[in-house]
Amino acid sequence: MDTNNKADNPVYSRSDQSAVNLTEEQWKKVLPKNVYEIARNKGTERPYSSPLEDNYEVGTYYCAVCGNPLFRSDTKFESGCGWPSFYEPVSKGSIIYAADHTHGMDRTEVMCGRCKSHLGHVFNDGPPPTRLRYCINGVVLDFEKAQDAEQKYHAEQGGAEHGQ
Protein backbone atom coordinates (compact mmCIF):
# COMPACT_ATOMS: atom_id res chain seq x y z
CA MET A 1 0.00 0.00 0.00
CA ASP A 2 2.19 2.82 -1.29
CA THR A 3 1.27 6.44 -0.64
CA ASN A 4 3.32 8.01 -3.42
CA ASN A 5 5.08 7.38 -6.71
CA LYS A 6 8.51 5.99 -5.82
CA ALA A 7 9.82 6.44 -9.37
CA ASP A 8 10.05 10.19 -8.69
CA ASN A 9 11.95 9.66 -5.43
CA PRO A 10 15.64 8.78 -6.02
CA VAL A 11 16.35 8.13 -2.31
CA TYR A 12 13.53 5.62 -1.74
CA SER A 13 15.07 2.23 -0.97
CA ARG A 14 14.13 -0.64 1.29
CA SER A 15 17.72 -1.92 1.37
CA ASP A 16 19.92 1.21 1.53
CA GLN A 17 20.33 2.26 5.16
CA SER A 18 22.58 5.27 4.54
CA ALA A 19 21.42 8.65 5.84
CA VAL A 20 19.39 10.80 3.46
CA ASN A 21 20.11 14.52 3.33
CA LEU A 22 18.03 16.46 0.82
CA THR A 23 17.14 20.13 0.90
CA GLU A 24 13.53 21.09 1.48
CA GLU A 25 13.33 22.18 -2.18
CA GLN A 26 14.48 18.71 -3.25
CA TRP A 27 11.92 17.06 -0.94
CA LYS A 28 9.16 19.22 -2.43
CA LYS A 29 10.04 17.94 -5.89
CA VAL A 30 9.99 14.22 -5.00
CA LEU A 31 7.16 13.95 -2.44
CA PRO A 32 3.42 14.32 -3.00
CA LYS A 33 1.99 17.38 -1.27
CA ASN A 34 0.14 15.39 1.43
CA VAL A 35 3.26 13.38 2.34
CA TYR A 36 5.46 16.49 2.29
CA GLU A 37 3.10 18.35 4.63
CA ILE A 38 3.22 15.61 7.29
CA ALA A 39 6.81 14.41 6.83
CA ARG A 40 8.66 17.67 6.37
CA ASN A 41 6.33 20.28 7.95
CA LYS A 42 5.45 18.08 10.96
CA GLY A 43 1.78 18.08 10.08
CA THR A 44 -0.88 15.68 11.34
CA GLU A 45 -3.43 13.84 9.27
CA ARG A 46 -7.04 13.71 10.42
CA PRO A 47 -7.72 10.85 12.86
CA TYR A 48 -9.30 7.72 11.36
CA SER A 49 -8.43 8.91 7.82
CA SER A 50 -5.68 6.36 7.09
CA PRO A 51 -6.56 3.00 5.55
CA LEU A 52 -3.62 1.60 7.54
CA GLU A 53 -5.50 2.28 10.78
CA ASP A 54 -7.60 -0.83 10.08
CA ASN A 55 -4.89 -2.92 8.43
CA TYR A 56 -4.24 -6.20 10.26
CA GLU A 57 -2.32 -8.10 7.60
CA VAL A 58 1.09 -9.61 8.36
CA GLY A 59 3.99 -7.59 7.02
CA THR A 60 6.26 -4.61 7.50
CA TYR A 61 5.60 -0.87 7.65
CA TYR A 62 8.17 1.33 5.90
CA CYS A 63 8.82 5.06 5.78
CA ALA A 64 6.89 6.35 2.75
CA VAL A 65 9.52 9.05 2.29
CA CYS A 66 12.71 6.93 2.10
CA GLY A 67 11.76 3.23 2.42
CA ASN A 68 13.36 2.67 5.83
CA PRO A 69 11.77 -0.26 7.73
CA LEU A 70 9.96 1.13 10.78
CA PHE A 71 7.50 -1.34 12.34
CA ARG A 72 6.43 -4.97 12.06
CA SER A 73 2.75 -5.80 11.97
CA ASP A 74 3.00 -7.97 15.08
CA THR A 75 3.72 -4.80 17.11
CA LYS A 76 0.62 -2.97 15.81
CA PHE A 77 -2.34 -2.66 18.16
CA GLU A 78 -5.71 -0.91 18.37
CA SER A 79 -5.23 2.10 20.62
CA GLY A 80 -8.45 3.94 19.79
CA CYS A 81 -6.52 7.15 19.03
CA GLY A 82 -7.35 7.26 15.30
CA TRP A 83 -3.85 6.68 13.94
CA PRO A 84 -1.90 3.46 13.35
CA SER A 85 -0.27 2.54 16.67
CA PHE A 86 2.69 0.30 17.45
CA TYR A 87 4.48 -0.63 20.67
CA GLU A 88 7.99 -1.17 19.25
CA PRO A 89 10.03 -0.14 16.19
CA VAL A 90 11.87 -2.64 13.97
CA SER A 91 15.21 -1.56 15.47
CA LYS A 92 16.60 1.11 17.77
CA GLY A 93 18.09 2.98 14.81
CA SER A 94 14.94 2.97 12.69
CA ILE A 95 13.42 5.79 14.78
CA ILE A 96 14.93 8.94 16.27
CA TYR A 97 13.37 11.04 19.01
CA ALA A 98 13.06 14.76 19.80
CA ALA A 99 11.32 16.78 22.48
CA ASP A 100 8.19 18.48 21.14
CA HIS A 101 6.70 21.37 23.13
CA THR A 102 4.32 22.66 20.44
CA HIS A 103 0.60 23.26 20.90
CA GLY A 104 1.04 23.72 24.66
CA MET A 105 1.97 20.04 25.16
CA ASP A 106 5.09 18.17 26.23
CA ARG A 107 5.46 15.22 23.85
CA THR A 108 8.16 13.14 22.23
CA GLU A 109 8.28 13.39 18.45
CA VAL A 110 9.36 10.33 16.46
CA MET A 111 11.16 10.69 13.14
CA CYS A 112 12.55 8.27 10.59
CA GLY A 113 16.09 7.30 11.51
CA ARG A 114 17.20 7.45 7.88
CA CYS A 115 15.62 10.63 6.45
CA LYS A 116 14.54 12.43 9.65
CA SER A 117 10.97 12.83 8.42
CA HIS A 118 8.26 13.43 11.00
CA LEU A 119 6.24 10.27 11.68
CA GLY A 120 4.20 11.12 14.77
CA HIS A 121 4.71 10.86 18.54
CA VAL A 122 5.39 8.24 21.19
CA PHE A 123 3.51 8.07 24.49
CA ASN A 124 3.94 6.04 27.69
CA ASP A 125 0.44 4.53 27.64
CA GLY A 126 0.93 1.49 25.40
CA PRO A 127 0.60 -2.22 26.04
CA PRO A 128 3.23 -4.63 27.38
CA PRO A 129 6.00 -5.44 26.85
CA THR A 130 7.20 -1.85 26.20
CA ARG A 131 4.27 0.19 27.58
CA LEU A 132 4.87 2.55 24.63
CA ARG A 133 2.41 3.76 21.99
CA TYR A 134 3.96 4.99 18.77
CA CYS A 135 1.12 7.02 17.25
CA ILE A 136 2.03 7.34 13.55
CA ASN A 137 0.52 9.29 10.67
CA GLY A 138 -0.56 6.69 8.11
CA VAL A 139 0.31 8.88 5.13
CA VAL A 140 4.01 8.56 5.97
CA LEU A 141 3.82 4.73 6.08
CA ASP A 142 4.03 2.16 3.31
CA PHE A 143 2.98 -1.41 4.04
CA GLU A 144 4.20 -4.59 2.39
CA LYS A 145 2.55 -7.92 3.11
CA ALA A 146 4.95 -10.62 4.26
CA GLN A 147 3.79 -12.94 1.48
CA ASP A 148 4.49 -10.27 -1.18
CA ALA A 149 7.97 -9.70 0.23
CA GLU A 150 8.68 -13.43 0.26
CA GLN A 151 7.56 -13.78 -3.37
CA LYS A 152 9.80 -10.88 -4.44
CA TYR A 153 12.73 -12.43 -2.56
CA HIS A 154 12.28 -15.81 -4.25
CA ALA A 155 11.87 -14.19 -7.68
CA GLU A 156 15.12 -12.26 -7.17
CA GLN A 157 16.93 -15.37 -5.93
CA GLY A 158 15.61 -17.40 -8.86
CA GLY A 159 16.85 -14.76 -11.31
CA ALA A 160 20.26 -14.70 -9.62
CA GLU A 161 20.56 -18.48 -9.70
CA HIS A 162 19.92 -18.55 -13.42
CA GLY A 163 22.44 -15.82 -14.23
CA GLN A 164 19.80 -13.14 -14.78
Residue 7 pLDDT grade (very low, low, confident, very high; cuts 50, 70, 90): confident
> Is residue 42 over pLDDT 80?
yes
The predicted pLDDT at position 6 comes to 75
Domains identified in the chain and CATH numbers:
6-161 (2.170.150.20)
With CA atoms as reference, report the closest residue to 75 among 59, 86, 60: 86
Question: What are the b/e assignments for 95-127, b being 16+ CB within 10 Å?
Answer: beeeeeeeeeeebebbbbbbbbbbbbbbbeebe
Of 73, 77, 93, the C-alpha closest to 85 is 77
Q: What is the pTM of this model?
A: 0.86
Residue 162: its pLDDT value, please? 45
- What's the mean pLDDT when you consider all of the chain? 89
Q: Which of 63, 112, 115, 135 is catalytic?
A: 135
| Catalytic residue flag (residue 135) | yes
- Mean pLDDT (whole number) for 113-119: 97
- Do the Cβ atoms of 4 and 32 come closer than 8 Å? yes
